[in-house]
Amino acid sequence: MRLLLIAYEFPPSPSPQSLRWTYLVRELATLGHEVHVLTVDLGGDTPGLPDLPAGVRVHRTFPGILRGALAMHREYRKRHPREPRDTDGADADAPLPTPLRPPRNWKQRISEWVQAVAGQLNYPDIRGEWRRHGRRELKRLLATLHPDAVISSHEPATTLELGLSIRDARLPWIVDLGDPVLAPYTPRRWRRRALRLEQAVFRHAAHVIVTNPKAVELMRARHGGDTPISVLTQGFDLAFDDTAAANREAFDPDRLELLYTGSLYAFRRIDALLTALQADPRIRLSIASVTVPETILAAAKAMPQQLRLLGFLPHRHALALQRRADVLVNIANDDPAQIPGKFYEYLGAARPILHLGDDPDLVAERIAELRRGWARANAAPDIAQLLSQLRQAKTAGRLDENLSLDPAQIRRHSWQQLAVELDALLRDVRGRADAGPRE
């Protein structure tokens, strides 16, 4: 099949949705599909992302005035680095020289202010600038490619608006919704528009994909049961070879080494874990994130032997590090309809997972079902007690005891298997479209 994917988030973006569709595009191409991607040109590059097959065609377009200016600046900095460095023989997956971006320097404050102003004018945020440019290129691609199906990768909601513009083209439109359009974090000024857009998606999409059953329940409650919905989780790469990735951060065999990779938000809180660390100096937490809140910077200064900030790590480097940690930390979002994609990466790492959440959720259920680790309330006393037990278990060589860490057990969550499921879904949607309109 000839597929056209509309994806704002795509490499060089390292976002979870970008990674999701980089892997799925790679595997769909391996399965024989001809894949075209309509995305934005944001300039620069990001080391360590998965390679795409040569046959995948990526069509980059102007993102809009503000994002376009940022892209030009990024390209300028790429060609004229502030401090020239010798890259001969350097590993493409090695960490960048600056380990941690300051969370709020004056340049970022100005950038945040400009983007906030633009977000007042563009729906759903500054990425809405792309709407007009993306629609023009989409029209051209439809006329020249004649795809068998079009897929919208949400977020941002702009990709859904572009997908809706083809509803008269009699092409099957599949929506990878991920998070709901109307979510708890949607600004009040956009809530009505978000709901209208979500309703339009369920009127016109041939099939909707979400990442967990809770999202199915929420969408069914809002929009009824007419539109087919499937669950396609986030995943991990069966083909990943950690011996080829850089691994400069050593773990101490005499400590219990915890690792958290990913972003931190107001709806994903790590404060209780930081407090729990103080109960035992032989426990250390490493955080790999492009930037962290001021509170975590302060905590790292207060206990430098127990909290290590690794800054940005290329994707493959982070995957390699996950496979060497004692325990991988996963923190629940406030919204039960959202499951952090890192959880599935952690499954692929074959290391124990510590899941922190105030209420039982799907991740806690899966960890218990798979015997993959431990789930605890996101409260310092509970966490401290468990960490002390785990540190003693490591000292005695029993950390992995009573756990099941066999990768074959979770093969169904691999990108390779998820692409097989997506391939079947696409062929079914195409077959239904060829058979005639839905009754």
Total domain count for the chain?
A: 2
pLDDT at position 31, please? 97
pLDDT score of 82: 63
Q: Are residues 254 and 115 in the same domain?
A: no
- Note whether 268 and 329 are same-domain residues: yes
Residue 329 zone, left/alpha/beta (φ > 0; ψ -120 to 50; rest)? beta
> Is 12 in contact with 315 (CB distance < 8 Å)?
no
Over residues 296-325, the mean pLDDT reads 92
pLDDT at 110: 64
Shared domain check, 145 and 17:
yes
- Alpha carbon separation from 193 to 117, 126, 180 (Å, rounded): 18, 16, 13
- Domain shared by 228 and 79, yes or no: yes
Whether 247 and 294 share a structural domain: yes
The pLDDT tens digits for 57-98 are 999 999 988 887 777 767 766 676 765 444 344 444 444 434
Domain that holds residue 172: 2-235+416-435
Say whether pLDDT at 338 is over 90: no
pLDDT at position 88 is 40
Compute, in degrees rounded to 10, the torsion defined by CA atoms 201, 163, 20, 269. Answer: -50
| pLDDT reported for residue 84 | 46
165 and 46 in one domain?
Answer: yes
Find the angle CA(334)-CA(338)-CA(343) to the nearest 5 degrees. 100
Q: φ and ψ at 203, to 5 degrees?
A: -80, -35
- What are φ and ψ of residue 196, in 5° steps? -60, -40
Is 422 in the same domain as 320? no
What does the pLDDT look like over 1-50, one tens digit per residue? 999 999 999 999 989 999 999 999 999 999 999 999 999 999 888 888 99
Residues 198 and 301 in one domain: no
* Average pLDDT estimate for 321-342: 85
CA-based torsion, 23, 24, 25, 26: positive or negative:
positive
**Nearest in space to 239 (alpha carbons), one of 31, 422, 26, 416:** 416
Pairing of strands 173-176, 149-153: parallel
- Write the CA distances from 40 to 6, 55, 58, 90, 358, integer angstroms: 10, 19, 10, 29, 38
**Is the pLDDT at 234 greater than 60, yes or no?**
yes
By percentage, how much of the chain surpasses pLDDT 90?
Answer: 65
**What pTM did the predictor assign?**
0.89
- CATH label of the domain that carries residue 159: 3.40.50.2000
Mean pLDDT across the chain: 88
- In the structure, what pLDDT confidence band is assigned to residue 109 with cuts at 50, 70 and 90? low
pLDDT value for 92: 42
The fraction of the chain above a pLDDT of 70, given in percent, is: 86
Same domain, 269 and 208: no
160 and 175 Cβ atoms separated by less than 8 Å: yes
Do 246 and 209 have their domain in common? no
Mean pLDDT of 346-371: 91
Same domain assignment for residues 267 and 191 = no
Contact 39, 10 (CB under 8 A): yes
Same domain, 176 and 30: yes
